[in-house]
Structure 1
Amino acid sequence: MKRPATVLLTALAPVSWGTTYAVTTEFLPADRPLFTALTRALPAGLLLLAIARVLPRGAWWGKAAVLGALNIGAFFPLLFLSAYRLPGGMAAVVGSVGPLLVAGLSAVLLGQRPTARTLLTGILAAFGVSLVVLKAAGALDALGLLAALASTVSMSAGTVLTKKWGRPEGVGPLALTGWQLTAGGLLVAPVAFLVEGAPPALDGRAVGGYLYLALANTAVAYWLWFRGIGRLTATQVTFLGPLSPLTAAVVGWAALGQALTAVQLAGMALAFGATVAGQRGPRTAPAPLASPAVPARRSYVRT
């Protein structure tokens, strides 16, 4: 598949994630962020495992656990904690520095030195997102800021390690996504039950919301995201991240009646322009994800 099509398909992941806030506030029980994270990750992971019918083997048990913790198990709770403790939009602003973190981690772990254009584009993307989502509020919460920064570091490190480790030969992105979602969901489960207690009573509206989050918003979206990491550079993928808060702003305007100011529209144009500019990658396509040191598919355990 040519790169423009790959970029567009990968972009569907952050666009889908941008609908999470509206679905959560309009369809789901209030104040159950960890239960929501659990119902997003674990059922989606188990479903993909059932479809792929491939389990990790050897060192990949540990690698899948690490990636699942970084991309899901630690990222979800930290993100929710920051969103609850910080004033409106601040968590998204901290998250928008992800492209800069990925560029730095790529230099250390992948040997890919960031260009001046990449750094400038990352700064413009973060500034544009701040114009869209940042609202006047009171004093910042130190724990919330630390959680927001930790969630961004976690997802950025997960993205770069996913690129560095690749996939075992013969194992596709569907199985890799299932491994990570399952591992991450299992990490979230005890935290959710300890902090929030038993699952809430669900009506038909909530069940529909959870089904959407688990299937489209998580199973499909994360499969597209990890598939994109295998075909694009880590920096290109992470520059698609600002599409999430931009989508949330558009959904809030279109579905929830939230107004968009001229400053927000200017910020959306700036962030979207930076996202497009961030897709200017190397002339040659990155090598497909594969780890030649790992046995081929036939040596993997099938469920």
Structure 2
Amino acid sequence: MRHRTTAVFLLVSAVWGTAFMATKVGLGSLPPALFAAVRFTLAAALLFCLASARGDRLRPRTRAEWVPVLTGGVFTIGVHHAFLFTGQQYVSSAVAAVLLGLIPVVTPALTRLTASTERLTPVGAVGVTLGFVGVVVIADPDPSNLLGSELRGVVLVLASAVAFALGAVLTHDAKSALPLVSTQAWMMVVGAAFLHVTTLALPWESYADASWTPGALAALAYLSVVAGAGGFLLYFWLLGRIGPVEVSLMEYVIPVFAAIAGWVALGETLDANTVAGFVTIFVGFVLVKRESIRSELRRMRTAGRTRANDAD
């Protein structure tokens, strides 16, 4: 079972890491918000078909079931991908993936703001600060060019990380009886609707500007079917088996696959600032989640001893 969990962990990391490269390919032909909107429209349709085939209940019935659908749909799907896809026009796949490593660092800080029961310790505050220092290192802002395209991309991807973390915080304590696949499908419907409205509202976004090239269609298919429907289903399977601490470590494996895919397919390079920023963000994560990491390590050691005793 543990080997299967490890395989799924690496598979999701690879799928979501290579998704950054696919996004870059699609953005060469499609406006970012429209690209994301169509992606999640298709992914939602696939998940509804899967839920129907499984015999799951399809529609939310109560306020408790609508809350995660609306908050997750708007923030985790809609706002997150509007910022992320727009930001990826200006930064490499590896930089975007590294910046999303802020999600497990930012989440505890947002939890502290939205839930009085959560406490961010002084050491945790240092960790959050280190996370943002890592962003500055990656951005390497030039005071004479504060509106440079790469810095603009860093800010947009940073905003996408904050939106994703906020969506996670707002949906974390939701008590929903709606099956998981149906919940995800509705989240994607809400997110896709938000992104379609964004496409109509922004003057630089236009359906007429879309060029449905073979490369764009291939990227859309990969992001909708493999990274979208398939990736999210495997992610939540993993979450239920190893918990949020171990799953959050995926954010530090994804950039490796993103960098390799970007280098092989797009000729992107990984500079020293990105590596240094990645290390800084990871140290910040360890400081923020140190108690959870200790607890998880103790649990893993206990489980290992139990398996060894059972084998004897």
Q: What TM-score do the two structures reach when normalised by structure 1?
A: 0.71
154-163 or 191-200, larger mean C-alpha shift = 191-200
Distance 1:134 1:11, change over 3 A: farther
**CA–CA distance in 1 between the matches of 2:110 and 2:11?**
24
In 1, distance between residues paired with 2:12 and 2:124?
22
Q: In structure 2, the residue corresponding to 1:258 is in which secondary structure? A: coil
Segment drifting more, 212-221 vs 264-273 = 264-273
Contact 1:246 1:268 in 2 (8 A): no
1:152 matched to 2:187: no
Distance 1:10 1:207 in 2: 27
The partner residue of 1:251 within 254, 258, 261 is 261
CA deviations on 1:204-239 (whole Å, 9 max, x unpaired) are 333222111111111112223344444555454444
Which residue does the alignment assign to 2:47? 48
Q: Which amino acid aligns with 1:70?
A: F
State the shift of 1:64 in Å: 0.6
Contact 1:128/1:267 (CA < 8 Å) preserved in 2? yes
Distance in 2 between residues matched to 1:273 and 1:247, nearest whole Å: 20
Q: Is the 8 A contact 2:26 2:35 kept in 1?
A: no
Query: What is the correspondence of 1:51-66 to structure 2 with a 5 Å cutoff?
Result: 51-53=50-52, 54-59=58-63, 60-66=65-71
For residues 189-268 of structure 1, the aligned pairs below 5 Å read: 189-194=196-201, 195-198=205-208, 200-231=210-241, 233-260=243-270
Whether contact under 8 Å (2:29, 2:216) holds in the other structure is: no
Larger mean CA deviation between 89-98 and 196-205 belongs to: 89-98
Q: CA 1:172–1:118 in 2, change beyond 3 Å: closer, same or farther?
A: farther
User: Is 238-247 or 35-44 further displaced after alignment?
Assistant: 238-247
Q: How do 1:117-196 and structure 2 match up within 5 A?
A: 134=139, 138-140=145-147, 147-168=156-177, 171-194=178-201, 195-196=205-206
Q: Alpha carbons of 1:31 and 1:157: their partners in 2 closer, same or farther (altered >3 Å)?
A: same
Equivalent residue, structure 2, for 1:280 = 293
Which position in structure 2 is the counterpart of 1:20?
19
Q: Which has the larger radius of gyration?
A: 2
Change (3 A) 1:105 1:135: closer
**Which letter maps to 1:154?**
A
Q: Indicate the percent of aligned positions where both proteins have the same amino acid.
A: 25
Amino acid at match of 2:161: T
How far apart, CA to CA, are the structure 1 residues paired with 2:59 and 2:209? 29
Alpha-carbon distance change, 81 to 196 in structure 1, aligned in 2, over 3 angstroms: same
C-alpha distance in 2, partners of 1:151/1:45? 21
Question: How far is 1:68 from its partner?
Answer: 0.7
Q: What 5-or-longer segments of structure 2 have no aligned partner?
A: 53-57, 300-312
Check the 8 A contact 2:87/2:153 in 1, yes or no.
yes
Query: Could you say what the CA RMSD is over the residues aligned between the two structures, in angstroms?
Result: 4.1
| More helix by percentage | 2
Instruction: Please give the alpha-carbon distance, in whole angstroms, between the structure 2 residues aligned to 1:149 and 1:55.
Output: 33
1:102 is aligned, of 107, 114, 121, to 107
Q: What is the SS of the residue equivalent to 1:74?
A: helix
Note if contact 1:88-1:134 (Cα within 8 Å) is conserved in structure 2.
Answer: no
TM-superposed CA distance for 1:44, in Å, is: 0.4
Could you say which residue in structure 2 is the equivalent of 1:32?
31
The aligned length equals: 281
Cα separation, partners in 2 of 1:202 and 1:148, compared to 1, 3 Å = closer
Give the 3 Å change call, closer, same or farther, for CA 267–150 of structure 1 in structure 2: closer
**Structure 2 residue aligned with 1:292:** none
1:95–1:261: structure 2 CA closer, same or farther, 3 Å change rule?
Answer: closer
Q: Are 1:48 and 1:178, in contact at CA under 8 Å, matched by a contact in 2?
A: yes
Aligned-partner Cα distance in 2 for 1:270–1:109: 27
Question: For residues 163 and 214 of structure 1, do their structure 2 counterparts lie closer, same or farther at Cα, with a shift above 3 Å needed?
Answer: same
